Chains A and B, each alone.
Chain A
Amino acid sequence: MTALTVNPLWFSTRACGTIALILLTATVVIGIGSAARYAPGRAGRFEVAAVHRNTSILALIFLAIHILTALADTYVPLGWISGLIPFFAPYRTFWVGLGTLAFDLLLAVALTSAVRLRLGLRRWKKVHHLAYAAWPLAVFHGAGTGTDTRLGPQLLLYAGCVAAVIAACWWRLYTAGPGRIGARLTAAVAAGAIPVLLYAFLTAGPLAPGWSHRAGAPAGPGAIPAAAPANGGPQ
């Protein structure tokens, strides 16, 4: 029996979380391109916008599977409330909370996009910019919570996601033209700071010894009494 069949929820959570991050990265990159009115080849701008929308819906679907499987997995009693309200999870509270916060922001973006015509373009755009905040939260959530962060391919994947978004940001800043200096400066500083912060965090946190304990993970079965009974039997 392989590890995958013994505990499919555990690995589904990981895999769907990673795919959701990749799709969210793609959504952000395409969104930046769409905002800059970029359209590759003969494709129309509405096509770029449609792919951006479809990718974001797909990201939300994988995010939903990620959350549902995490809540259904009985190893850690996360509780349904911690899936919606940040910093309530008993397992790696801060790092799981970042993920919940990112999910809430994306939910707000998705809901306001659904009622965009009623909301008005200006208000919708303000809320839509929350996606820029949700993305780094999702990256730090993945790096801080996932015990797979030490894996080389996983680190490469994070690096690829960060590089894609940073490149898109810099390209957008380069092609934006003059004006809105304050916003551009903020975006430039954020785009430069995120990889530096992530690198510093990874070296001091998940890649350093004892991260599991420092992140707030339970030491063993006795650490979470509520989880032990449910985990006793086969899944």
Chain B
Amino acid sequence: MSPRHVPHDARISARDNGLRRVRTATGWITVAATTGAVVLAGGYASALPGTTAAKTSAPTGGSDKQVSTPGAAARTTSTATGPAASATSAATASAAAPAASLQPPTQAPVTTSAPPQTTSGGS
């Protein structure tokens, strides 16, 4: 039977059923997309480089902050050891200072004569 010969009520019923299927499909797609977004966000947070938590002290408010995202890792200082670390710490501390005290560097970095030193964790 062609659609033209389908009774009026049957066509209305078929259309209602179709609209119901569309609503159901849209609902499932929305739920899947939202769940997918949450799962992806969690996946990115755990899988991307730089996600290892490293505790650094925030000079602005004195509260600790975890360096755990690539963005956050780029913003905060990294830890280092040895004489070079103190120079790095001084330079980065000024870089992480509050907004009002941010100043451009007065001179380019220079090489140091101090010998490289490694502090091992082994005893």
Contacts and interface: CB of A to CB of B under 8 A. Distances in A.
Interface of A: 1-4, 6-8, 10-12, 14-16, 18-19, 22-23, 26, 43-44, 46-47, 50-51, 54-55, 58, 62, 73, 75, 147-148, 151, 153, 218, 220-222, 225, 227-234
B40 interface: yes
Ordered nearest first, which 4 A-B pairs have the shortest CB separation?
Answer: A229-B99, A3-B68, A15-B41, A3-B45
A22 B15 CA distance: 29
Nearest to A222: B95
Interface of B: 14-15, 18-19, 21-22, 25-26, 29-30, 33, 36-38, 40-48, 51, 53, 58, 60-61, 63, 65-66, 68-72, 74-75, 95-99, 102, 104-105
Given A222-B95, A229-B102, A4 B22 contact: no
Contacts of A151: 47-48
Contacts of B41: 4, 8, 11-12, 14-15
B37 A6 contact: no
A14 B96 CA distance: 26
A215 to B, nearest CB: 14
Given A1-B66, A50-B22, A233 B58 contact: yes
Contacts, number: 136
Given A1-B53, A10-B71, A46 B18 contact: yes
Given A1-B53, A6-B66, A23-B33, A15 B44 contact: yes
A175 B71 CA distance: 48
B1 to A, nearest CB: 14
A221 B68 contact: no
Q: For chain A, what secondary structure do more than half of its interface residues adopt (helix, strand, loop), or is it mixed? A: helix
A6 B43 CA distance: 15
A133 B45 CA distance: 31
Contacts of A7: 68-69, 71-72
A23 B29 CA distance: 9
B2 to A, nearest CB: 14
Given A54-B26, A231-B75, A147 B70 contact: yes
Given A43-B21, A151-B48, A221-B96, 14 more contacts: A2-B68, A3-B48, A7-B72, A11-B41, A11-B44, A15-B37, A50-B19, A54-B25, A55-B29, A147-B48, A222-B105, A228-B75, A228-B102, A232-B58
Contact of A232 (B30, B42, B60): B60
A219 B114 CA distance: 26
Given A75-B74, A225-B102, A234-B61, A4 B45 contact: yes
Contacts of A148: 44, 47-48
B78 to A, nearest CB: 10
15 contacts: A6-B66, A6-B69, A15-B44, A18-B40, A23-B29, A47-B22, A54-B22, A54-B29, A58-B33, A148-B48, A221-B75, A222-B95, A228-B75, A232-B75, A234-B65
B60 A73 contact: no
Nearest to A231: B75
Contact of B71 (A12, A22, A73, A228): A73
